[in-house]
Amino acid sequence: MMIKSALNLIPLLVIIISSCTNPVQDKKEDLPEINGVTGSWNLDQYIDHVNKGQDWISYDDTILYQKHITDSHFTWFKYDSKNDNLLGMGGGNYKIEKGNYIENIEFFYPPGSSELGQAIPFNLKFEKGMWYHSGMAKEYELDIETGDMEEVGTIMIEEIWKPTKSIINPDSKIQKTWDLRQYRTGLSLEYIEYPDFTGYIKLITPTHFVWTKYDKEGDEIYGAGAGTYLFKDDSYIESINIIHPENTGQVGSSIKFDFDVNDNKWKHFGYVPDFVVDESNGDIRNDSILIDEYWIPHETEFTEEIFF
């Protein structure tokens, strides 16, 4: 009788064990590591809710749609590689809170988007190495009578992102978010302090870089660039994939820079190609532009006027 009773208890024990372990497994999938989003991603699929779509679709190979995320900031862009044309871009800072990934939109292209200035919460889910990204963005329109922006609805965002396949750089000393602090346009000139009202931010992930120059007080992106990078023979080399507003020879180029990095500054020195049209005869002339810059970690305060 005791053996029979023990056997009768086995199914009950299995049920109890299963009910205790399954919620833990589900919780582990739904709440990934806080740094799970950091890195560089390619958009794999999306649902076009703007045009009332219902099916998962993808862009063709001519569209480069990427998102780059450091431990504090994100930048995404949609770029027409065939025509060298920036179709969309956005970025800012973010936080992860209670299982949600919340983006604070600090710059956006094209101008006039109601997403600028929003803090948009997204569900955070990872499955088989893919990032499932879904949330609701508010839509605003200008009220002509009051002059205020009025909320008129929401738009669903549903996307699936996959990690890029680019080579990972093990040297992490520049893998963070940077602000341009000083620059000069000629070797004989003095360094110029970068103005506070213009944002010039650069994100470095283990595989990619992306920089954006934008108006902090308005609604305009002045310039942007992105690509992959590597370290070789004491040089930092950028391979350019996108340039905005105009590609004058940089896209497709691999540009070598001298660099020096310590705890509070990044010395960035080199020359980038600049193909310009000679107005006198219409010929294309291959010039170059000096890049001589000092970058500092984002939100770091300094008192020095000139670093070196």
Q: pLDDT (tens digit, 9 = 90+) per residue, 46-70?
A: 999 999 999 999 999 999 999 999 9
- The length of the chain, given as a count of residues: 308
Kindly report the pTM of this predicted structure.
Answer: 0.83
Tell me what the mean pLDDT of segment 149-173 comes to: 89
DSSP 30: H
pLDDT digits (tens, 9 = 90+) for 247-279: 888 999 999 999 999 878 999 999 998 876 666
CA distances from 19 to 11, 30, 279 (A): 12, 17, 77
Please give the structure tokens belonging to residue 94: 């973010």
State residue 265's pLDDT score: 93
Mean pLDDT of the chain: 84
Nearest partner of 76 among 60, 91, 59, 97, judged by Cα = 91
Tell me what the mean pLDDT of segment 223-228 comes to: 98
Please give the structure tokens belonging to residue 11: 């199914």
State residue 9's pLDDT score: 37
State residue 285's pLDDT score: 62
Per-residue confidence band for 36, with pLDDT thresholds at 50, 70 and 90: confident
State residue 144's pLDDT score: 77
Say whether pLDDT at 35 is over 80: no
3-class DSSP assignment, residue 7: helix
Per-residue confidence band for 138, with pLDDT thresholds at 50, 70 and 90: confident
State residue 214's pLDDT score: 98
Tell me what the mean pLDDT of segment 36-41 comes to: 95
CA distance linking residue 210 with residue 303, whole number of Å:
27
Cβ atoms of 292 and 183 closer than 8 Å: yes
Query: Residue 234: what are its φ and ψ, rounded to 5°?
Result: 65, 20
pLDDT digits (tens, 9 = 90+) for 92-125: 999 999 889 999 999 999 998 888 889 999 999 9
The residue extents of the domains of the chain are 39-163, 177-297
Say whether pLDDT at 212 is over 80: yes
Tell me what the mean pLDDT of segment 27-40 comes to: 58
State residue 41's pLDDT score: 98
CA distance linking residue 205 with residue 229, whole number of Å:
10
11-15, 38-42, 264-268, 295-299: least confidently modelled range: 11-15
Say whether pLDDT at 307 is over 50: no
State residue 168's pLDDT score: 93
Tokens 């956005």 correspond to 90
Tokens 């023990």 correspond to 6
Same fold, 39-163 and 177-297: yes
Tell me what the mean pLDDT of segment 72-100 comes to: 95
Tell me what the mean pLDDT of segment 274-285 comes to: 67
Q: Number of C-alpha atoms within 13 angstroms, CB side, residue 142?
A: 4
State residue 176's pLDDT score: 95
β-bridge pairing 192-193 and 100-109: unpaired
Classified by CATH at the fold level, domain 39-163 comes out as Lipocalin (2.40.128)
26-40, 92-106, 130-144, 198-212: least confidently modelled range: 26-40
69-83, 115-129, 140-154, 167-181: least confidently modelled range: 140-154
Query: Hey, which bits of 185-298 come out as E strands?
Result: 192-193, 198-204, 208-215, 221-232, 235-244, 254-262, 265-277, 284-297
State residue 100's pLDDT score: 92
Classified by CATH at the fold level, domain 177-297 comes out as Lipocalin (2.40.128)
